[in-house]
Chains A and B, each alone.
Chain A
């Protein structure tokens, strides 16, 4: 029978099949761990006298509560928040007690968990990958079944390398056509979420297909899969192809020599078979897409940047009308107003959605020789120490600094506002991150989600612009 990519990966990882009474037990190839969602799981292991079953399939990093402020004269990134320091120390202790490899703060390969997994070549096609973090969906860009889990499940995987899973349904999100200049992968995914809504993917694994997806680089594919969770999906997937293999070849942790050839031969069997069926299909045309921006307090509240904010009075459904009313109230926006020209206080370029080298290059190209608008603060936060080194080798940090932006250490930074980087109440930000929830970037802060191009163009102008006009 013709199988989808999802079904092939799922079937290859079933330890014990589901039956009428119980879910399947699924084997997990790679378990990524960070400081925020793991402490209680390690505590549980201690309480029960358990060990980590497969430390060699477990990797920890620090990213969420870590500061991204520049290093001191001693070369050390200063942690001034005592509670954060306690959490970071707890991760060090846990990794040392249980033999889990850790990319400690400021070390060579440390960075955002979803940036370092692929960068180091841990993330590979056909794998099952989990992390106590919803944006684990990022790794689906490589044709791996990757999804976020809660802390109880982190404990299950640490102890058994397995998870109990109900089989999700599958959806094909097909995007054919060619992106116009100034329109990016970020705009594709914002358009998809605007179309299906933040709950539209609930219960589904999304597989992105079509000529527009095939044309994307690996980093662009990661941006798309990253935000699958913002459509409510369990995971996002893109079939591996030559672009995938070329990107992975010779990474530190990918197979080498004959093992590489064998791996690629296996990976080539993974794409969905001709005639495989999905439970749902959604179709978009890349030619019709414009740069997208959000106006509200969830990632589904997005419009083309040239559009106007919708009006609650146009909505028939009570619950939707109330939600929109509440969102506009929080955002301080008027129904039917355009967003172009909207003044912005902060531009944040970073997060696991858009902090890889190609994102920094794209923004730097626009900022080269220009200045960030007076009174606007721009933070540029590379996704990993390696991205940071690469950017510095290319002189991108000099471009950002010369433009008046802050050049930071690697981490989640203002994506999550639990590490010192945050908006002040009432401030507006254009952010390349993935969530515009109330208070996500700081209590009372107001977020417009957009692409790195739109972010850079906004930084130069001090207000939201259509990047296509300055390309």
Chain B
């Protein structure tokens, strides 16, 4: 994974709450065996509507999505962050994210930015009034600079470290090989009887 720290991007607003993974990328696009081409299918059923935000010329090149409450609920498909990134998004702003989606996003360098409800409402309003707003993200300081204000956001220490340094989480687990072996030995009665 490429390290990320600061980036600037144009944000667009999609103020719908509980946007689920089936909207982000419908199941019929999950027959792929790689990660390619999913950006074109992002929100594909909603993109059938000419008015849909991502169909507007001003939305092209957007890097931040300002969503409604509770983004990414539903399935575990990692195709959801892959599709968002495929379209060009680097971050999503919401009041909270579904657990599995959030984990998947962080592992791919798509930043889930959590803000409070009042902030989300304010950002959405500003964005809708201007079609887009410019956002600059500073991960090291956990801040978003937008429309003259600075907003802090939370992120767990480990995910932040991995994003800032491009740490490979699998490599991090592999480095614990001795502990894994010790665990398997001391719990042999259980792990050896799973017996698939």
Contact = CB atoms under 8 A, between A and B. Distances in A.
B158 A37 contact: no
Interface in B143-196: 156-158, 161, 169-170, 172-174, 176, 179-180, 183-184, 187, 189-196
Contact of B176 (A15, A229, A253, A416): A15
Nearest to B75: A134
Interface in A3-32: 12, 15-16, 20-23, 25, 27, 29-30
A134 B196 contact: no
The 8 lowest CB-CB distance pairs between A and B, nearest first, are A150-B104, A39-B33, A199-B70, A148-B76, A150-B78, A151-B78, A437-B22, A418-B27
15 contacts: A15-B179, A27-B191, A39-B33, A40-B33, A149-B103, A156-B173, A160-B176, A161-B180, A202-B98, A232-B70, A298-B73, A319-B17, A322-B16, A417-B27, A418-B27
Contact of A162 (B74, B180, B192, B196): B180
Contact of A16 (B68, B104, B179, B194): B179
A160 B161 contact: no
Given A29-B190, A164-B158, A417-B27, A133 B76 contact: yes
Contacts of A22: 157-158, 172
Contact of B103 (A25, A27, A153, A160): A153
B31 A152 contact: no
B31 A27 contact: no
Interface string B11-22: 000011110101
A87 interface: yes
Interface residues of A, number: 82
A164 B172 contact: yes
Interface string A55-74: 11111000011000000000
B180 A160 contact: yes
A29 B176 contact: no
Nearest to B95: A199
B173 A40 contact: no
Contacts of A298: 18, 20, 73
Interface string A131-145: 011101000000000
Interface string B24-44: 001110111111000000000
Nearest to B183: A15
A27 B187 contact: yes
Contacts of A163: 173
B168 to A, nearest CB: 10
Given A37-B77, A323-B18, A56 B68 contact: no
Interface stretch (A78-86, A171-179, A454-462): A78-86
Contact of B194 (A29, A166, A168, A199): A29
A104 interface: no
